[in-house]
Amino acid sequence: MGRRKIKMEKVQDTNTKQVTFSKRRSGLFKKAAEIATLCNAEVGILVFSPGNKPYAYGRPSFDLVAERYNNESEDSDTGEPSSNGRGNRARHEKRICKRLNSIMEQVEAVKKRGEDFQNQLETAGEEKFDKPIEELSLEELKEYEDKMMNMHGMIQSNISQMQVSSTLMLLSIDTQNN
């Protein structure tokens, strides 16, 4: 049994519509990935399912492509010529600065959260942790260990977020400089 041609008309059955959407969406995203790879193009696709759920694909990321689209349309709205090299460079630097400021704000927020977590750890809210560790019971030590492990997990998560943000920033600057 081979593939058969499907007549192009609106699907009426709700279940069939959802299945068709899911299959076609994955094919659409696959084609977008191919064109991005083959042509080194920036691609952004946003589709809404029959149930109004949004699905997005972007290369390098949907947010970057959408931001670039918005910036380009703003430039065309103002009537600025896009062939002006110095103007493009200035707008490019402005976007990079804006993105860098955004990342720096995120880093500051993560630092603040880390300080808050540290304060919470230091003031665990329970007097039993105010006494020296040697005086804690086995049960209290296990509870203390659990709190420390939870705090360690949150710190590791924050570190990972910061690393990803800095890597994305470096990649976007690298990509834009090339």
Other CB atoms within 10 A of residue 70 CB: 10
Say how far apart CA 163 and CA 10 lie, in whole Å.
46
Rounded to whole angstroms, the Cα distance separating 53 from 91 reads 34
Q: Is 129 exposed, middle or buried (0-12, 13-18, 19+ CB in 10 A)?
A: middle
Going by the DSSP 8-state scheme, the letter that residue 9 receives in this structure is S
pLDDT at 123: 66
Q: Residue holding tokens 């670039």?
A: 68
Choose among 156, 145, 151, 175: nearest CA to 41: 175
Please give the C-alpha separations between residue 154 and each of 120, 147, 157, 163, in angstroms, as whole numbers: 12, 11, 5, 14
pLDDT digits (tens, 9 = 90+) for 132-149: 778 778 888 888 888 888
Model-wide pTM > 0.75: no
| Dihedral pair phi/psi, residue 43, rounded to 5° | -125, 135
CA angle 89–91–96, rounded 5-degree value = 90
- Tens digit of each residue's pLDDT, the chain (178 residues): 678 887 888 888 888 999 999 999 999 999 999 999 999 999 999 999 888 888 999 998 888 888 888 777 666 655 554 445 556 677 777 777 788 788 888 888 888 888 887 777 766 555 556 677 787 788 888 888 888 888 888 888 888 888 888 777 777 776 666 6
